[in-house]
A and B are shown apart, each in its own frame.
Chain A
Amino acid sequence: MPIDKFVKLESTCVPVPIENVDTDQIIPARFLKATTRDGFGDNLFADWRYDKSGNPKEDFVLNDPTYSGKILVASQNFGSGSSREHAAWAIAGYGFKAVVSSFFADIFKNNSLNNGLLPVQVSKEFLEELFQAIEKDPATKVEIDLENQKITLQPNGSSESFEINPYKKKCMLNGFDDIDYLLNISNEIATWEKANS
């Protein structure tokens, strides 16, 4: 599946200041019965977002019209637990292009990158600054510049650089996916198989 290119993003943010958000919260298991990648966005954070009869819970941020945007700002240790890629599909399906946190679980990070959703890991201090700025003014815009690996809080220009594996960066900038890469070295894999069988 070719992924969307990601070069630069400027957007308002949706804050979810809860630590240790696991993939069961991002998309509960009962929604994993689908056999396509579509439609998971509707059930993103389902148990926090809807009550038992399926009505939106007013106090949850996704139901609060004050906040919108393409950047999800999350707390420490985001995406732990199950390996379900459905979590990344749900976040991307909802319309987010990037997730910012001070710490990501490994598999979630991989899954996101494989779906054109950029995980941006920042310091605890910068994250705190982001949360405060968004709380003070929900219209606050943040810029994520992948080429220069830089995230900037636009109102005051406060910024921080973030890490990304150079190979993954190239994939995101160009919209390549890993499978294309591996299919291209098929002969090399065959040679290895022969030598190691």
Chain B
Amino acid sequence: MAGKTLFEKIWDKHVVTKVDGGPSVLYIDRHFVHEVTSPQAFAGLRDRGIQVRRPEKTVATADHNIPTLNQDQPIQDELSRFQVNKLALNCEEFGVPLYGLNHKWNGIVHVIGPELGITKPEMTIVCGDSHTSTHGAFGSIAFGIGTSEVEMTLATQTLLQNKPKTMRINIDGELGKGVVSKDIVLYIISLIGTGGATGYFVEFAGSAIRNLSMEARMTICNMSIEMGARGGMIAPDETTFEYVKGREFAPKGAEWDKAVEEWRQLPSDTDAEFDKELTYKASDIEPMITYGTNPGMGIGISKSIPTLEEIEKSTQATFKKSMQYMDFQPGDAMIGKKVDYVFIGSCTNGRIEDLRAFAAFVKGKKKADNVTAWIVPGSHQVEAQAEEEGIRQILEESGFEMRQPGCSACLAMNDDKIPEGNYAVSTSNRNFEGRQGPGARTMLASPLTAAATAITGKITDPRDFL
């Protein structure tokens, strides 16, 4: 019999039972809850007259709706305020721990889980948010769910799930200068498309992945949903253990040693079989940027937008619609295009390493006058650390402002909306029509490309400065 994959090892350990001819009942170790996708689930519990089965395995935060300025004051937007208050009321009624607005541990759900040591290897983790895949970077099965499934998890601590197929994507060799993990993932999605991994759980492997820091690994797993995958994961190793050790909720002492011992058994066996395997060379990847309205419409920054002839027939209508929305011409070069906004933040690139990389890049330079830049840390802890490391000061000296933590312009549910028709280079994860505000035109890129662009005021290859 062939060996087991990382995914299978964790999955098998969490199957409570199997429905005849149907899905498995999967036990959930940790359930993250936020204000947008939970109110209807709590209402469902109330209707059924039941409690949260394991409140201690559940943790809530407010992130999607919250303003990134004046967080000490009541939220101005009435509906947002109502939804955030509703979360607090629900958490109180059902005994769920809440790191709400102004709590020192508040932040974007996928940033705070890892930084508090809640996210660890070998877990099953869910949240009513597709970017839950982020937590897979620790060697866990983590995936996004809908509100009915949020209710299911609250009520039973289990989920009915069909076992997905497994895929391994290898990135071998060394990355070129100015190329970072965001570029790796945008590169993969540009090749396989937004449905390229639908039905699969993806393990990222290869020497280029091994050499990444934990935060860089999170960026890759975060965007696995953008290739359609159910989730993404990376086998835990010394880098993982090093990151988790000593954090608030990490095991301590003898328990820690025991846990690490067990986690070392997790990596896929050498004879494990995947349903699909893809391999790419790290040296083929350059800084990436998207030109269209889904994350698969990306190219190396030095390249030009494809011409209509280069696009598959069946996709041409969608491509044209995209070009119209972006007001770009097929065949246009991306370098040199004018930019109005730069957004640094989100659960993809709003961690301390991202702010560090951005600050190191802009240090001693000045922000271009035509650019409005929003730098939004992913959590209060990231904000505090940026303060401590002098990052805020570097940013301010270069003409940038750091705002308060939250999802912000990643989905523009608060006031941080890119105005209609304006162009934004964003370190977030989605460039869908209207994602960053009605009519907003988004180009996804790494924090380095965003930094180079913020300095020159137009799309710029970060390698020009390195």
Contact = CB atoms under 8 A, between A and B. Distances in A.
B27 A196 contact: yes
Contact of B228 (A19, A106, A192): A106
B16 interface: yes
A78 B420 CA distance: 25
> Residue among B37, B64, B82 with the most chain A CB within 10 A?
B37
B199 interface: yes
Given A1-B148, A18-B318, A19-B314, A105 B228 contact: yes
Interface residues of B, number: 68
A178 B145 contact: no
Contacts of B43: 35-36
Interface stretch (A25-33, A55-63, A144-152): A25-33
Contact of B433 (A47, A86, A165): A47
B325 to A, nearest CB: 10
A196 B122 CA distance: 13
Interface string A153-195: 0000000000001111000000001110111011011001100
A19 B315 contact: yes
Interface string A77-98: 1001111111010000000000
B187 to A, nearest CB: 19
B147 A85 contact: yes
Contact of B130 (A1, A33, A37, A107): A107
B314 A182 contact: no
Interface stretch (A5-13, A66-74, A109-117): A109-117
A179 B48 CA distance: 10
A80 B228 contact: yes
A25 B438 contact: no
Contact of B321 (A18, A85, A111, A196): A18
A101 B164 CA distance: 20
B434 interface: yes
Contact of B151 (A30, A179, A185): A179
Contact of B155 (A33, A80, A179): A179
A136 interface: no
Contacts of B155: 179, 182-183
B148 A35 contact: no
A193 to B, nearest CB: 8
Contacts of A80: 194-195, 228, 294
A167 B19 contact: yes
Contact of A114 (B25, B47, B148): B148
A110 to B, nearest CB: 6
Contacts of B207: none
A76 interface: yes
B294 A114 contact: no
B40 A25 contact: no
Interface string B7-21: 000000100110111
B152 A179 contact: yes
Given A33-B79, A35-B83, A81-B430, A178 B17 contact: no
A188 B23 contact: no
B207 to A, nearest CB: 30
A35 B294 contact: no
A143 interface: no
B294 A20 contact: yes
A167 B25 contact: no
A161 to B, nearest CB: 18
Interface string A31-66: 011111100000000010000100000000000000
Interface of A: 1, 17-20, 22, 24-25, 28-30, 32-37, 47, 52, 76-77, 80-86, 88, 103, 105-107, 110-111, 114-115, 124, 165-168, 177-179, 181-183, 185-186, 188-189, 192-193, 196
Given A25-B434, A105-B228, A185-B25, 20 more contacts: A20-B194, A24-B435, A29-B412, A29-B413, A30-B438, A33-B65, A36-B40, A84-B36, A86-B147, A103-B195, A103-B198, A110-B146, A166-B21, A178-B148, A178-B149, A179-B148, A183-B155, A186-B156, A189-B16, A192-B17
